[in-house]
A and B are shown apart, each in its own frame.
Chain A
Amino acid sequence: MEIILRNVSKYFPSNGVQALSGAHFELRPGEIHALLGENGAGKSTLMHILAGHLEMTTGELLVDGIPRTFTSPGSALQTGIGMVRQHPVLVPGFSLWEDALLGLPGPPLAPLNARLGRRCFQDLSDRWGFDLDASTKTEHLTISQRQKASVLTLLLHQVQCIILDEPTAVLTPIETERLFTLLRKLRSDGLSIVLISHKLEETLSVADRLTILRQGKSVATRLTNETNTEELTQLMFGDAIGQSNASMSFLHIVPAVQEEPILMVDHLSVAQKELAHLRDLSFSVHKGEVYGIAGVRDSGLETLELTITGFVKPLAGRILLNGRAVEHQGPLAFRRAGAAYVSADRLGRAIALKLPIIDSLIVHAHRRFVKNRFLWPRFLDLKAIRSWARNIFGLSNIQGSLDSPAEAFSGGQLQRLILAREFAEAAPLFVLAEPGWGLDAAGKVLLQERLDVYLKNGGTVLLFSTDVDELLQFSSHIMVIRDGRNVLELDVPEDEHLRPMLKSQISAAMVGTGVPQETIREVQV
């Protein structure tokens, strides 16, 4: 199938982000076409539009010459276009074959023979060399198996174009190679494949053509055998090699003071269902550092974040903050020991959406504004609280009423407020997950400024991120976590030009090179 996306623009009013402005993309039948670009370039957005998850603000879509608009993923699927997400969502509790057959057009009351269904799935799976068992329940699959099951589902629904959204970020090299073999087989069967990625080397090994997006525009399209990594890097990043974002400057870094660490994690192990495990992890954060922890989505990064901040109890090991052991004591104890925390899942966990915004702002501060400490009920000094909250508004450059519900504010505004709230705690340790997420341009500038001030005043920052560029930008010291272990630690040089060279070393450590260890344990999405 031939697909043409022309002059596509996408504007998100909720946070004022112009994700795409005039992007072009052409797909020919029987090719593997990679969509390249760094984070935020618009690759995912463009493909989500093609797959029917989003609607374009302006632009054209032609499928086999016929103009189309997809209002839902279902309509894209009916036209033969399907998407495999990095973390595919399958129906929990179903067997693989049930999930795959779900939604196939046909009479609703026709008998669904389990044996037939299984065989149908199994035959297809064997034919493509998937190594999947039709009867497995969806909860018991690894990520790479889920991706394959997604592909199989799409094949059963007879798609002719498969879009894969950064599949290899969560795969081991062996799994990646298997995936690529599969893609080549699919291509020889006449399917068109779009591979979204920001990993140059491996993409070059499998793609026929490449289109590069930068800042929401299509920059170029090349045939793989007519280009090389240098040219592609230059196209992806612009004029200066290694400059990820022209508007951002590197953070001024204060050299770490060598004394007793402010945070010490000692032989930490976590083995809880539905979370990536941590295996005997140890590291220390010293005062004045910006300590960045890098990892892919299921490396244990999130688990580590949750365990350190007190939401998850470890099986073994200790966490000492300012000398106090906090590993079994919950989020409040962690905060009281001297920390502020901005979680990755900000709108879900760090804000009360339906209540007036002031209620979300005073969640920590309210304890300080109590009029009568020793008598229940403890009354709040509302006047002082309101003026304190108004101050937070000012720090975030936001106008509005303190009593408006939180959901009346835009996503970008809420992020700024959350950051301002946490900075206002002036805690010795500031834990920040996925720093750049959800921040609009104004928010990113604000974050930079606040971090600068905070560090100058003697603060320490702990960052968690899946984005290496971001970490290189902010951190003075980086640790890579993979499979729940600490696999790499390095200092980040002050010289801005030296930093991007570390990127490949860090990325390699995140995904893993060489011999596969034990099988990846299952992870609930």
Chain B
Amino acid sequence: MRTAGRARFAPLWGAVFSLGSGILLICLLILFTSADSLATLKVFFLGPWSSPWFIGNTLDMVALLMVSALGVAVAFRGGTFNLGGEGQIYLGGLGATVVLLSFPTLSGTLSLLLAALVSLVIGALMGGLSGVLKRYARADELITSFLFSAALTPVADYLIAGPLRDKSGSLLASPRFAPERTLTHLLPPSSLSTSFLWAIGLVFLVYILMNRTESGYRFRVAGTSPEFARYGGFPAPAYWVYAMAGSGALHGLAGFFAVAGTYGLCHQGFSGGLGWSGIAVALIGRNKPLALFPAALMFAWLKAGSDGALLASGLQFETSAFVQAIILLLVTVRRKP
């Protein structure tokens, strides 16, 4: 029988192993393909922190990753698997965009609040639909959430390239939001905004809800042991709906943070990869809210570093896809191979 102490550390294997392998992979790529390996390695490791601009952008990425990963973690803890995160981020951001471009009489703060609310609701509806279908139709939420997002993403693409498009420019993007309708930037000219603070706040909020409240307790139990939950008088299926809706809501909020904080507008495909990265970060952090900050930090460092190394050395490789893939592959490893 494993001792209690060992049981606590065994799960860290996946996190350590996957991050370590990601780093190793990039290092190897650099060593084999870069003309000046040492310089490129320096860019890889230190680049993301080498100047206020870089620091700001890296931390901004951390913020987005945290919120998305929080959404993934909430779904997992509730016993479900939200595969439609990308779409929920995209549609959530789109909804926020519509609000931020409308209602001219609203003040900046109010319009931001409304936009956040709208993105939250859109995400919650998308996720919640999968949850409801799982509860009442025994439909696998993995499939329904993915398909629903896949079906709606082209709709968003169309809207951004069409009715919502900023006709004065040549980008497939909406017009820029008025300055008072974007989140305050903390470290201009980088994209770091108050979304970072909100993200940390959300992490704590979810942590407290999940671990210190009656509903959170039942949510966790229903998510890991549905039979036990039934025995205890709070059957699991209701919690599936909450899990998927909450997960969708968080993803939608991530979309809001992206358009209102990072970009200041909504461009086609802005959510690219954030959903999948969120899954990776959530798994690195073992779906525990408080661990998501360090997990997002490590992942963002790895990603920003490899992007920077790519630019600096003219590497031809699509590093970010490989980094994501290798992390996902290794993060759930349980046995030492």
For B1-18 the 0/1 string (1 means CB < 8 A from A) is 111100110000000000
Which of A38-46, A253-261, A397-405 has 4 or more CB atoms under 8 Å from chain B? A397-405
For A341-373 the 0/1 string (1 means CB < 8 A from B) is 101000011111111000110111011001000
Query: In the complex, what residue of chain B is closest to A382 when comparing beta carbons?
Result: B212
Q: Which 5 A-B pairs have the closest CB atoms?
A: A332-B233, A404-B4, A352-B225, A377-B213, A363-B232
Does residue A504 face the partner (Cβ distance < 8 Å to B)? no
Note all chain A residues with C-beta closer than 8 A to B233.
330-332, 335
How far is it, in angstroms, between the C-alpha of A323 and the C-alpha of B2 when the chains are bound? 47
How far is it, in angstroms, between the C-alpha of A366 and the C-alpha of B228 when the chains are bound? 14
Can you offer 8 A-B residue contacts whose CB atoms are under 8 A? A348-B227, A350-B231, A352-B224, A363-B228, A378-B213, A378-B215, A380-B217, A405-B7
Contact A349 B4 (CB under 8 A): no
Does residue B216 face the partner (Cβ distance < 8 Å to A)? yes
How far is it, in angstroms, between the C-alpha of A349 and the C-alpha of B232 when the chains are bound? 9
Does residue B214 face the partner (Cβ distance < 8 Å to A)? yes
Does residue A408 face the partner (Cβ distance < 8 Å to B)? yes
Known contacts A377-B216, A380-B213; 13 additional CB pairs below 8 A are: A331-B230, A331-B231, A349-B227, A349-B228, A350-B228, A352-B221, A355-B224, A355-B225, A359-B217, A376-B215, A382-B212, A401-B4, A407-B7
Given A359-B220, A378-B215, A380-B214, also A343-B231 (CB < 8 A): yes
Which of the residues A349, A367, A376, A405 comes within 8 Å of B231, measured between beta carbons?
A349
For A324-337 the 0/1 string (1 means CB < 8 A from B) is 00000011100100
Total B residues in contact with A, Cβ cutoff 8 Å:
24
How far is it, in angstroms, between the C-alpha of A220 and the C-alpha of B220 when the chains are bound? 54
Does residue A14 face the partner (Cβ distance < 8 Å to B)? yes
Note all chain B residues with C-beta closer than 8 A to A130.
none
Total A residues in contact with B, Cβ cutoff 8 Å:
38
Specify the main secondary structure of chain B where it touches its partner. helix
Note all chain A residues with C-beta closer than 8 A to B217.
359, 362, 366, 380
For A372-386 the 0/1 string (1 means CB < 8 A from B) is 000011111010000
Query: In the complex, what residue of chain A is closest to B3 when comparing beta carbons?
Result: A408
Give, as a whole number of angstroms, the nearest-CB distance from B239 to chain A. Answer: 13
Does residue A13 face the partner (Cβ distance < 8 Å to B)? yes
Residues of B within 8 A of A (CB): 1-4, 7-8, 209, 212-217, 220-221, 224-225, 227-228, 230-234
Does residue A78 face the partner (Cβ distance < 8 Å to B)? no
How far is it, in angstroms, between the C-alpha of A408 and the C-alpha of B231 when the chains are bound? 22
Give, as a whole number of angstroms, the nearest-CB distance from B217 to chain A. Answer: 6
Contact A364 B212 (CB under 8 A): no
Does residue A311 face the partner (Cβ distance < 8 Å to B)? yes
Of listed B217, B220, B225, B231, residue having the most chain A CB within 10 A: B231
Note all chain A residues with C-beta closer than 8 A to B3.
408
Query: In the complex, what residue of chain B is closest to A366 when comparing beta carbons?
Result: B217
How far is it, in angstroms, between the C-alpha of A331 and the C-alpha of B234 when the chains are bound? 9
How far is it, in angstroms, between the C-alpha of A367 and the C-alpha of B234 when the chains are bound? 12
Give, as a whole number of angstroms, the nearest-CB distance from A10 to chain B. Answer: 17
How far is it, in angstroms, between the C-alpha of A13 and the C-alpha of B1 when the chains are bound? 8
How far is it, in angstroms, between the C-alpha of A355 and the C-alpha of B221 when the chains are bound? 8
How far is it, in angstroms, between the C-alpha of A370 and the C-alpha of B221 when the chains are bound? 17
Does residue A71 face the partner (Cβ distance < 8 Å to B)? no
Does residue A410 face the partner (Cβ distance < 8 Å to B)? yes
Give, as a whole number of angstroms, the nearest-CB distance from A201 to chain B. Answer: 40
How far is it, in angstroms, between the C-alpha of A349 and the C-alpha of B228 when the chains are bound? 5
Query: In the complex, what residue of chain B is closest to A401 when comparing beta carbons?
Result: B4
Note all chain A residues with C-beta closer than 8 A to B212.
379-380, 382
Note all chain B residues with C-beta closer than 8 A to A335.
233
Contact A408 B214 (CB under 8 A): no
Given A351-B228, A367-B214, A382-B212, also A408-B220 (CB < 8 A): no
Note all chain A residues with C-beta closer than 8 A to B232.
331-332, 363-364
How far is it, in angstroms, between the C-alpha of A400 and the C-alpha of B232 when the chains are bound? 24
Contact A354 B215 (CB under 8 A): no
Note all chain B residues with C-beta closer than 8 A to A408.
1-4, 7
How far is it, in angstroms, between the C-alpha of A360 and the C-alpha of B227 when the chains are bound? 12
Note all chain A residues with C-beta closer than 8 A to B7.
404-405, 407-408
For A274-296 the 0/1 string (1 means CB < 8 A from B) is 00000000000000000000000
Contact B231 A377 (CB under 8 A): no
How far is it, in angstroms, between the C-alpha of A362 and the C-alpha of B216 when the chains are bound? 13
How far is it, in angstroms, between the C-alpha of A59 and the C-alpha of B217 when the chains are bound? 48
Of listed B7, B209, B214, residue having the most chain A CB within 10 A: B214
Contact B216 A359 (CB under 8 A): no
Query: In the complex, what residue of chain B is closest to A331 when comparing beta carbons?
Result: B233
Note all chain B residues with C-beta closer than 8 A to A410.
1
Give, as a whole number of angstroms, the nearest-CB distance from B221 to chain A. Answer: 6
Note all chain A residues with C-beta closer than 8 A to B231.
331, 341, 343, 349-350, 363
Query: In the complex, what residue of chain A is closest to B225 when comparing beta carbons?
Result: A352
Note all chain A residues with C-beta closer than 8 A to B234.
332
- Which residues in window 1-28 of A have CB below 8 A to B? 13-14
Note all chain B residues with C-beta closer than 8 A to A13.
1
Give, as a whole number of angstroms, the nearest-CB distance from A28 to chain B. Answer: 40
Note all chain A residues with C-beta closer than 8 A to B221.
352, 355, 359, 363
Give, as a whole number of angstroms, the nearest-CB distance from A368 to chain B. Answer: 11
Query: In the complex, what residue of chain A is closest to B235 when comparing beta carbons?
Result: A330
Contact A370 B1 (CB under 8 A): no
Contact A378 B214 (CB under 8 A): yes
Contact B1 A354 (CB under 8 A): no
Give, as a whole number of angstroms, the nearest-CB distance from B122 to chain A. Answer: 23
- Which residues in window 187-204 of A have CB below 8 A to B? none
Give, as a whole number of angstroms, the nearest-CB distance from A406 to chain B. Answer: 9
How far is it, in angstroms, between the C-alpha of A311 and the C-alpha of B4 when the chains are bound? 33
Query: In the complex, what residue of chain A is closest to B222 when comparing beta carbons?
Result: A352
Given A311-B230, A404-B4, also A353-B213 (CB < 8 A): no
Contact A377 B4 (CB under 8 A): no
Note all chain A residues with C-beta closer than 8 A to B209.
377
Note all chain B residues with C-beta closer than 8 A to A341.
231
Note all chain B residues with C-beta closer than 8 A to A331.
230-233
How far is it, in angstroms, between the C-alpha of A370 and the C-alpha of B212 when the chains are bound? 10
Which of the residues B214, B225, B230 comes within 8 Å of A354, measured between beta carbons?
B225
How far is it, in angstroms, between the C-alpha of A367 and the C-alpha of B221 when the chains are bound? 14
How far is it, in angstroms, between the C-alpha of A366 and the C-alpha of B212 when the chains are bound? 11
Query: In the complex, what residue of chain B is closest to A364 when comparing beta carbons?
Result: B232
Query: In the complex, what residue of chain A is closest to B221 when comparing beta carbons?
Result: A352
For A121-162 the 0/1 string (1 means CB < 8 A from B) is 000000000000000000000000000000000000000000
Note all chain A residues with C-beta closer than 8 A to B220.
355, 359
Note all chain A residues with C-beta closer than 8 A to B227.
348-349
Of listed B7, B217, B227, B232, residue having the most chain A CB within 10 A: B232
Note all chain B residues with C-beta closer than 8 A to A332.
232-234
Query: In the complex, what residue of chain A is closest to B4 when comparing beta carbons?
Result: A404
Contact B224 A379 (CB under 8 A): no
Give, as a whole number of angstroms, the nearest-CB distance from B303 to chain A. Answer: 30
Note all chain A residues with C-beta closer than 8 A to B230.
311, 331, 349
Note all chain B residues with C-beta closer than 8 A to A363.
221, 228, 231-232
Note all chain B residues with C-beta closer than 8 A to A343.
231
Contact B1 A377 (CB under 8 A): no
Note all chain A residues with C-beta closer than 8 A to B228.
349-352, 360, 363
Note all chain B residues with C-beta closer than 8 A to A404.
4, 7-8
How far is it, in angstroms, between the C-alpha of A405 and the C-alpha of B1 when the chains are bound? 12
Give, as a whole number of angstroms, the nearest-CB distance from B318 to chain A. Answer: 37
How far is it, in angstroms, between the C-alpha of A359 and the C-alpha of B211 when the chains are bound? 10
Note all chain B residues with C-beta closer than 8 A to A400.
4
Give, as a whole number of angstroms, the nearest-CB distance from A367 to chain B. Answer: 7
How far is it, in angstroms, between the C-alpha of A224 and the C-alpha of B233 when the chains are bound? 54
Query: In the complex, what residue of chain B is closest to A362 when comparing beta carbons?
Result: B217
